[in-house]
Structure 1
């Protein structure tokens, strides 16, 4: 029988339960990942002790989710989340159980979980692994299978359809045919799930090693058509790219490229959305070739709408959309120093690396390889430009200085400062207080005369 290597502190924790007549188990992902040889110390515990009983046998307990049987025990410097064995009532809103019933049976508790590979339990005293739903067989066969009747599992919580995609993507497993069929039949129910939960699952899928395994399942089941219909439109839009006959296939290739380099979530999300504007921008040129003029700007606009719909933060939206909007920018050696500086200001110093990573992955998806070496000169020029004045704050003159020479603090002052910056970007030697004061006076007089 397989054993889970229970840390000594957890054995000590479990022994207190036993001394008081209760049992304690590690459940779910930590056990599964151990069986797969994956490091995971994110432990979830379940017990036959009621929440109140747990609070009685430990001095420091936080009732984090006591209504649903969960408390957090502070034990020797760690926080252990412990949930009482339970069964759940009907899910009338397809999100949350209408009721929770505490039970004494581990089997009843495990039977309410989503997939067989997530229903393992390990005895916290001796590490014995309990497999009541043939999860071990599914691990060996690399299959994600719903526990019991798949329709019932997805009716209980429609988000499980996205979790199916995520686990297939994360583990490199296939979806059990009956489980996949149930997800397909119930795909419209994903509309009942909150945008925040959908976004959380989507981002977790994007952060796997092969995101398109999960994305393909979302597409195949029809879940994608509900949560990201913009991507389905891309499947209907043909284009000629290496290894891609349509825009969505190209997007998939770009997303997998971001994962292969372990790029961050901003770049991965940008890759997913960077071309969603193409279908609405498709035109045939005079020679009958497809062109997508302005799709970068359109894709950024649509991406912002998508991310708002998913309740993403404004900061995250800004980071994603700025690099989508600029992903078609192509540096030329004949750019002036001023042009390089304006590029930095337009994109933002903090976003440039993300932009380049998106462009490299877009190139891989389009041409089969990236042109990283072509960026060497551009990167060197950016570094040089960053040593020179770039923003109004870098000017040798301030708003207070302009006020002292008679320019009122108003919208006009802001316009004058921006004009001075525009001069300094092209001619850094003009960044002296005396020269800028004279220029400001001339600009102000010209505006006043108009």
Structure 2
């Protein structure tokens, strides 16, 4: 296992947190995913500290704090633009709802706090001042073996918090780890508890895989742990045969910028076309309204229906039917889905890649040319047409006709020429 090196500005922040707490007679350890990521990748994403100082003491010691979870012993310490989560050592307590402890019991020893955590690879602690790594549960060994295993009894860990199995699937996928057999078995047995997790919490774990490289593994683990049907039953039903193979083959390679694109790809690749099932799935996971609308629009994108994605006029007509704001998303989604279908039909990767590159190149050419695609691109406005005597719905209808004309003949998009065309039609 590689030695721990913390780069600036994080090193200075860590020293400040530890020196301040130690100066006041307390312990301080960088803990959890922070240490895990340092050992695996040599970099920090979050700064999480644990200490034997009580929350009220932390508030007094540090000049700038935010009581984000003070009920559970957690505060944010603000220093040099960084947010450091500082949590008091805790002991095991009773969990009544499969989500959070009914009471909080503070502890005085680091080992007690570590042993109540979820996975061994998250049970590591490091002191910057001491240059010491604390490993009470075999976390370093599991990191080296690339194994996700719970601390202690997996049934107890998952009964305490139903989100842990879902989170475990994501962490294992992110790191490229296998799930230890007893841990996986416990995940399956605890599905009745996991299914009580709020849809928003499931969605948040799903959202965290948007930028992940190993999305395929995440979905594989959810299926393997029998979790998928509890939250996405229609997705689970479709996860069979060629549709499943197509999804697993493509999902790691897709470029997606939003959860709308992610969900649309899921439905498209798994060949789920029933609008009712799609909307039920999105509502059931508390999908944000804007993302839900875009997802449905992408699945019905005119760019998926054009016969020739390499024909300039065909592509312009299809682009003109999409909203300006979401046009890039439509293009990105449609080109990737068309390529996926071509791959599934047996077309070799080379021609598929070349066809996608041609379509993207044509799209960029259209954008650079400034050719009109929207009514707002026309050289005339509704006010101009009203001055010509048009009123009410006739104005909108005339603008739409002019748009169709200049799509085919962009050179006609001048104020003088368009007003002449309006004059001829009235």
- TM-score of the alignment, normalized to the shorter chain, above 0.5: yes
Write out aligned runs for 1:114-153 (5 A): 114-153=118-157
Q: Are 2:269 and 1:275 aligned?
A: yes
Q: 1:73 Cα shift?
A: 1.8
Corresponding position of 1:332: 308
The CA deviation string for residues 241-283 of structure 1, in whole angstroms up to 9 with x for no partner, is: xxxx43122211111332xxx65455544332213444xxxxx
Q: Greater shift after overlay, 362-371 or 133-142?
A: 362-371
Q: How many Å separate the matches in 2 of 1:234 and 1:64?
A: 40
Q: 1:169 Cα shift?
A: 0.8
The CA deviation string for residues 309-339 of structure 1, in whole angstroms up to 9 with x for no partner, is: 322333433444444334744552884x543
Q: How many Å separate the matches in 2 of 1:321 and 1:159?
A: 28
Q: How many Å separate the matches in 2 of 1:189 and 1:313?
A: 25
Change (3 A) 1:64 1:394: same
Contact 1:207/1:265 (<8 A) preserved? no
Q: How many Å separate the matches in 2 of 1:50 and 1:144?
A: 31
Q: How many Å separate the matches in 1 of 2:84 and 2:342?
A: 46
Corresponding position of 1:157: 161
Contact 2:246/2:270 (<8 A) preserved? no
Corresponding position of 2:372: 389
Change (3 A) 1:439 1:253: same
Corresponding position of 1:292: none
Corresponding position of 2:422: 440
Change (3 A) 1:224 1:16: same
For 1:396, what is the secondary structure of its paired residue?
coil
Q: How many Å separate the matches in 1 of 2:320 and 2:298?
A: 13
Q: Are 2:350 and 1:372 aligned?
A: no
Corresponding position of 1:60: 64
Q: Are 2:339 and 1:360 aligned?
A: yes
> TM-score, normalising length from structure 1?
0.82
Q: 1:441 Cα shift?
A: 5.0
Q: Greater shift after overlay, 310-319 or 144-153?
A: 310-319
Q: How many Å separate the matches in 2 of 1:220 and 1:366?
A: 28
Q: 1:25 Cα shift?
A: 0.4
Corresponding position of 1:75: 79
> TM-score, normalising length from structure 2?
0.86
Change (3 A) 1:9 1:395: closer
Corresponding position of 2:407: 425
Q: How many Å separate the matches in 1 of 2:38 and 2:365?
A: 49
Q: 1:164 Cα shift?
A: 1.6
The alignment yields a C-alpha RMSD, in angstroms, of 2.8
Q: Are 2:28 and 1:24 aligned?
A: yes
Contact 2:239/2:270 (<8 A) preserved? no
Gaps of 5+ in 2: none
Q: How many Å separate the matches in 2 of 1:334 and 1:181?
A: 50
Q: Greater shift after overlay, 199-208 or 131-140?
A: 199-208
Contact 1:122/1:130 (<8 A) preserved? yes
Contact 2:38/2:44 (<8 A) preserved? yes
Change (3 A) 1:24 1:365: farther
Contact 1:276/1:302 (<8 A) preserved? no
